[in-house]
Amino acid sequence: MKRAASIALVIMVAAAATLAQSAPNENFEPFQQWMGAVLTGDAATLKSLYSTNPAAQVRVKTVMHDADADTSFWMGLKVRSMKVAIIRGTAPRSDVTHLILHMDMRVGSDAHAYAVTDDQVWLKEGDDWRLVSVERTDDPELKQPADMKKDIYPADADAHAEIRAAEEKAAKEHKRLLLVFGANWCFDCHVLDLALHGPELSPTVEANYEVVHVDIGPDGKKNGDVAKQFGVSLKKGVPVVAVADPDGKAVVSTNNGEFEDARQLTPKFLAEFLNQWKPETR
């Protein structure tokens, strides 16, 4: 999940990293208005729900779009039905609501199946709520988590001790370390974790890697010495994945944001990465 300088994405990160005052869900009235406009094909109402000051930002596969483009996308789908699952809802302030939603739909004249994961940040402007930031994942290939309750990065974990133990085990079993830098507040970290434990990738992971999750904390500064040790930069967002040999020598790290948008990745991409950097056959 990338930390951007814009006000919209700063709000999104605050919503992700802060304990919620309440737990909004898919019944949040502004979202219900948004969904109603999508289902009825009401482009004018849908567009009116996006902020103009600041202008809403819509991110799709790292490319930024405006409200008009998002409106056109939803109108073009011709959604016939929509089943919404709440992944997480937070309200860090009374004027900010952050929803991560997965929508299973029937779309088009043939009512074929289509799915979208929509990461929405709503900002209250006067008496009205407006969408200020959206990250849209169209028909994702990786399974999206049903919630973000899994404690992937325990607050009391000792990264140094876990890495030492992983190095010892990796040396005995001719494996490498797979270090995943991230945090529990990061949705893409949950997507990546689910993928690594899934049936397509877990055999490769288990045969070749000792996995260690390195917590960056709520402000991104925790375990900074570990990041430095393995040549990891968090500037392009998390998760960041690093591969290291059992002797602690860094092999590669994804410092250019290759995994930051994990929700958009494919099983093929992840399999190719894991196979590229697995230990050489003895």
Residue 6 pLDDT grade (very low, low, confident, very high; cuts 50, 70, 90): very low
pLDDT mean over 261-278: 97
Joined tokens for residue 155 = 């607050």
pLDDT digits (tens, 9 = 90+) for 170-191: 999 999 999 999 999 999 999 9
Architecture of domain 7-138: Roll (3.10)
Mean pLDDT of 49-72: 96
pLDDT at residue 8, rounded to an integer: 41
Q: Which CATH architecture has domain 159-277?
A: 3-Layer(aba) Sandwich (3.40)
Interatomic CA distance for residues 217 and 185, integer angstroms = 9
pLDDT (tens digit per residue) in 203-217: 999 999 999 999 999
Q: Quick one: CA dihedral 9, 239, 275, 117, positive or negative? A: negative
Where does the chain hold its CATH 3.10.450.50 domain(s)?
7-138
> Comparing C-alpha atoms, which of 17, 67, 12 is closest to residue 43?
67
